[in-house]
Structure 1
Amino acid sequence: MITMNAQKNKIHPHKYSMWIAMASITMMFIGFTSAYVVKRAQANWLSFELPAIFWVSTALILLSSLTIYLAQRQFKARNMSSYKQLITITALLGLGFAVCQIIGFSDMKNHGLALDSTVSASFIYVIVGAHILHVLGGVVVLMVLFFRAYRTRIRTYSAVPIEVASTYWHFVDGLWIYLLIFFSLAR
Structure 2
Amino acid sequence: MEMTFSEEEKQKNIRSKKMLLWFAIVSMIMVFAGLTSGYIVSKKREDWVPFDLPTAFYISTVIILISSITFHLAKKAIQKDNRSMTGLFLLITLVLGSLFVYFQFDGFHELYKRNLFPSGSSSKITVSFLYVFVIVHLAHLAGGLISLLVVIYNHFKQKYNSGQTLGLELGAMFWHFLDFLWLYLFLFLYFFK
TM over 0.5: yes
TM-score, length basis structure 1: 0.91
Aligned counterpart in structure 2 of residue 51 of structure 1, from 51, 54, 59: 54
Q: What's the offset of the Cα at 1:135?
A: 1.5
- Structure 2 gaps of 5+ residues are 1-6
Q: Whole-Å Cα distance in 2 between the matches of residues 50 and 118 of structure 1?
A: 14
- Structure 1 gaps of 5+ residues are none
Q: What's the offset of the Cα at 1:8?
A: 5.3
Aligned counterpart in structure 1 of residue 168 of structure 2, from 156, 162, 182: 162
Aligned counterpart in structure 1 of residue 24 of structure 2, from 21, 24, 33: 21
- Residue 79 of structure 1 corresponds to 82
- Residue 143 of structure 2 corresponds to 137
Matches within 5 A, 1:113-132: 113-116=116-119, 117-132=123-138
Q: Match of 1:148, as an amino acid?
A: N
Segment drifting more, 49-58 vs 156-165: 156-165
Shift >2 Å, 4+ stretches: 4-11, 152-158
1:52, 1:104 within 8 Å by CA — same for their partners in 2?
yes
% identical aligned pairs = 32
Q: What's the offset of the Cα at 1:136?
A: 2.0
What RMSD over aligned residues (CA atoms) do the two structures have, in Å? Answer: 2.1
Count of residues paired in the alignment = 184
Q: Match of 1:130, as an amino acid?
A: V
Say if 2:71 is the partner of 1:65. Answer: no
Q: Whole-Å Cα distance in 2 between the matches of residues 128 and 166 of structure 1?
A: 21
TM-score, length basis structure 2: 0.89
Q: Whole-Å Cα distance in 2 between the matches of residues 130 and 85 of structure 1?
A: 29
Say if 2:156 is the partner of 1:150. Answer: yes
Aligned counterpart in structure 2 of residue 99 of structure 1, from 102, 122, 140: 102
- Residue 89 of structure 1 corresponds to 92
